[in-house]
Structure 1
């Protein structure tokens, strides 16, 4: 196992395309770390640069404080699982798994002893003589993982390892991968664009955009307190409500109501400043009866999420969403009221989080002066 320290890492392609822009990153020994972001944000480039498959334009990469920036991939002691698994189609499962040890010129006896251990560890017993074309996607993924760990790498790098699996297999493989990483305790960095995957697997997450890291935190921190509007709009299986407002007399006028400025934000925002209020649909209470201080409007969309529904309200031209229980009925074009739970409102100014959303108790929202309930 090894810690990873990255300082001022840059990668610029011909033509001036800056894939990585002076990144700083620390991954702890034994940590399961996710690189998350939309396509083209630089996450795979970062992973490949750590592996040595891409040459850094600037900056340094260190494993356990040893600078490996200019080392060849084979000398970095890292294992990698590629998105398409990159198994040799003409080789058997055993030969594929043993291949890294063959490259290191280990004896045949040692190679196949270690490969047999990996076969047992990853539940591949009985498949040793098969070729990749005779395996399912989940089985190929486990062979690729076995090949990556057979040489006991200090760091394991995973490039969207579950993306080629169907939905059911992806869930099974996710559970398997988490248990396996906890058991072997190898420092692991994995790339994904699937936020549910990152939230479920990672100890910490780095959210990337345009070659930069926009936030690093635990899954709970990134979900509950996005550091900026990009992360707020990207994280979450249901889109966060982001509503423009203006500070006025210790409250934020937004969507026809006044939301109190959180106590810890007082003095940080001034009257007349424009802000954005963010609150997740999961933290909204919904009612078909008028509620003081709630966003009132008409239901424009109801989406079935399985164990719940996502209700979308049209509130004076703004969109407000709330997650309701599976037994709660909301009908198209019916009136509805959505109320943020106390302490769950986040406040953004100039695109960056000011404060709020920590789950602390707080006063309820109140109607704007002169505004009545929507009926």
Structure 2
């Protein structure tokens, strides 16, 4: 096991395209760390640079305290699991798992023994003689993980290994992967564009945008207190409501002409200052009917325009003076389109942003 430390990591492709822009990260020994961001943000390039498959334009990569920036992939003692698993179709499960050991010239008997041991640990003991085409997607994923585990690497580097699975299989594979990492305690870097996966699996998350790290924190931290409006809009199964507002003389924030609680900003803004009012749909209370918008409990008025079924809840869109506001509503509450209603924020869950950054 090992720490992974990145300092000033920059990657500029031909033509001046900057895939990584001065990335600095410190990943603890045995930590499950997620690199999260939209397509094109640089997360896979960052993972490949740690693996040695990409050469940085500038910066350093240290694994276990050793500067490996100039080392080839085979000497970094890391194992990478790719999105498509990259299994050899003409080889058996046993041969696929043992292949990295074969490259390292490990004796045949030891290769077979380690392949069998690793396969048994991942529930593949009865499939050693099968070819990849005879396996399900989940089983192929486990073969790829077994191949990585058999090398006893210092770190696992996982590039969206669950993205080829169907929704049900992804959930079970996610549980399996988290349990496996906890048992092995191997430093793991997991790339994904799926924020639900990152929040469910990782000890800490780095959110990337355009080759830069926008926030690093625990899943709870990046969900509850996004450092900027990019993270606020990206994290969460339902995006945060981000509404234009202005600070009122009494300290509240006027949003669409309605005074709302300002929460507890770290740096209180001055009256008259323009801010972005952030509150997640989960932290708004749906109240049917109209009321005086100036009342403290008034909330944001609107009319139900869209209702999305989330299973155990509904995502309701209200259209009003502040624009479109989304609210998570219990499944048994009637929300017919055209209904007049209010969205009342929880004061302790309100966030204010200035120039895109959290106050």
What's the TM-score once normalised by structure 2's chain length? 0.96
Q: Residue 261 of structure 1 corresponds to which residue in structure 2?
A: 262
SS in 1 for 2:328: strand
Q: Residue 155 of structure 2 corresponds to which residue in structure 1?
A: 155
Q: Residue 91 of structure 2 corresponds to which residue in structure 1?
A: 91
CA distance in 2, matches of 1:3, 1:242: 37
Q: Residue 74 of structure 1 corresponds to which residue in structure 2?
A: 74
Q: Residue 230 of structure 1 corresponds to which residue in structure 2?
A: 230
Q: Structure 1 residues 264, 312: CA separation in 2 closer, same or farther (over 3 Å shift)?
A: closer
Q: Residue 199 of structure 1 corresponds to which residue in structure 2?
A: 199
Residues 256, 295 of structure 1: 8 Å contact kept: no
Q: Residue 368 of structure 1 corresponds to which residue in structure 2?
A: none
SS in 1 for 2:301: strand
Q: Structure 1 residues 314, 49: CA separation in 2 closer, same or farther (over 3 Å shift)?
A: same
| 1:333 equivalent in alignment to 2:338 | yes
| 1:15 equivalent in alignment to 2:24 | no
Q: Residue 367 of structure 1 corresponds to which residue in structure 2?
A: none
Q: Structure 1 residues 349, 317: CA separation in 2 closer, same or farther (over 3 Å shift)?
A: closer
Q: What are the residue-to-residue correspondences of 1:353-364 with 2, within 5 Å?
A: 353-354=358-359
**What per-residue deviation string (whole Å, max 9, x for no partner) do you get for residues 258-283 of structure 1?**
123345546x3112211001000000
What's the TM-score once normalised by structure 1's chain length? 0.92
- Give the aligned CA root-mean-square deviation in angstroms: 1.1
2:355 to 315, 340, 350: 350
Q: How many residues align?
A: 353
Shift in Å at residue 125 of structure 1? 1.4
Q: Residue 357 of structure 1 corresponds to which residue in structure 2?
A: none
Q: What are the residue-to-residue correspondences of 1:283-294 with 2, within 5 Å?
A: 283-290=283-290, 292-294=297-299
CA distance in 2, matches of 1:326, 1:257: 28
Query: Any gaps of 5 or more consecutive residues in structure 2?
Result: 292-296
Shift in Å at residue 22 of structure 1? 0.5
Q: Residue 322 of structure 1 corresponds to which residue in structure 2?
A: 327
CA distance in 2, matches of 1:67, 1:155: 15
SS in 2 for 1:126: helix
Q: Structure 1 residues 265, 31: CA separation in 2 closer, same or farther (over 3 Å shift)?
A: closer
Q: Residue 294 of structure 2 corresponds to which residue in structure 1?
A: none
CA distance in 2, matches of 1:329, 1:29: 50
Shift in Å at residue 98 of structure 1? 0.4
SS in 1 for 2:127: coil
Q: Residue 136 of structure 1 corresponds to which residue in structure 2?
A: 136
Query: Any gaps of 5 or more consecutive residues in structure 1?
Result: 355-375
| 1:271 equivalent in alignment to 2:276 | no
